[in-house]
Structure formats: C-alpha cells, structure tokens
Amino acid sequence: MLNLVLFGAPGSGKGTQSEKIIDKYGLHHISTGEVLRKNIKEGTELGKIADEYISKGHLIPDSLMVDILRQELKGLPKTTKGVIFDGFPRTIPQAQELETILAEMGESLTGVLGLEVAEDELVERMLKRGAETGRADDNIDTIQNRLKVYHEQTEPLKAHYQGKGSYIAINGIGNVDEIFSNIANEIDGRVK
C-alpha cells in the first residue's frame, strides 16, 4: 500500500492537495479534522467534546485521536491502494501510535509530504477560507492559537521524520497545480 502523511501547518493546503492526490492515485482519505467537524455537525458526544477544543484552537487529546484513527482504519476497504493521512499525526505520541498501528496491519509509511508555507501566507489563506466557507475556527484569534499549537506540538514531527529519512519537503507556495506536480514527482519517485 501507498501510505502517505500530508504534513503542514494549518492553512498549508493539506485538504486541497489531498483531493488531487486521491484523484490521481486512488488513495483512501483520512482527515481527522473532517471526522471531528462531521461529529460536531451531527451533535454526537464526540462532537461536543471536540468542539470545546477546536473552538479554542487546541488539540484534541492523543488517546481520543488514536481511537478515532483506529476506527477510520477499520473501515478501510480491503482492496484499498493506500491511505493519505491528512491532519494526523499532530504530536510525537500520535506519530508513534501510527507506526504501531500500521505495523499491526503489516504496513508502514511510504513517506511524509511536508507542505512548507510562510506564516503570513498561512494567516491570509485561513482568513480567506473563513470568509468563504464560514469555517468556525478560521477567525483571527483561533488562527493565532492554532499556529502557536502547531509550532509547539506539531512542528517537532518534522525533525522526527527527517531523522527517519521519510520527510519530503514540498514548497507549498504558488499555483495549486504546480504544487501538486511537485508532490506527484516525489510520489512517483518513491513508488517506482
């Protein structure tokens, strides 16, 4: 299987590029943020808990996120060609759990695609998305918290994956198709 993590700060284009990767490579998309937003919309117990964290720009506790991930992986069709992990892992313990879970499935990560985008551009993109889609956590106060949390808890994953030789830096600034073409070149180089 082709198992890729799409890594990057909030607003770096993970959702946009995931869609294009799925189209080209026929992968299964697991977006933990989308799972949580769906639960909030449906008013489930998980949704109520998640809303408390998301509205403040905080991360949901690792144990809860790992349960969600296991659940999502259980639902994978047997014939799947692979998975794109979008928004997971976001902490070192989540990365370690992901490795364990994949190993239990007889799988491993093919690579970690890191979308690299300057901070001022991230803020601009999220404000634009908030205005266009009404996404609740795309407001300036929550955005600033999310970026702080990203630097403190998620960015250390870059060094973690660099140490394993699996981090692939992608310039996340510019035209969506150009960025995707760089991603596709990296994926093709890894699978051949």
Options 3, 12, 18, 32; binder of ligand AMP; rule CB under 6 A: 32
Binding range to ligand AMP, per CB under 6 A, among 39-47, 59-67, 111-119, 174-182: 59-67
- For 115-151, b where at least 16 C-beta lie within 10 A, e where not — what string? bebeeeebbebbeebbeeeeeebbeeebbeebbebbe
Is 190 among the catalytic positions? no
From residue 49, alpha-carbon distances to 8, 29, 60, 92 in Å are 24, 23, 8, 22
Is 90 among the catalytic positions? yes
Is 129 among the catalytic positions? yes
- Indicate whether 33 belongs to the interface with ligand AMP (CB under 6 A): yes
Nearer Cβ to ligand AMP (72/137): 137
- Indicate whether 36 belongs to the interface with ligand AMP (CB under 6 A): yes
- As to burial, measured by CB atoms within 10 angstroms (0-12 exposed, 13-18 middle, 19+ buried), residue 162 is middle
Tell me which residues are annotated as active site: 14, 90, 129, 135, 146
The residues that touch ligand AMP, with contacts defined as CB under 6 A, are 10, 32-33, 36, 53-54, 58-60, 65, 87-88, 90, 94, 137, 146
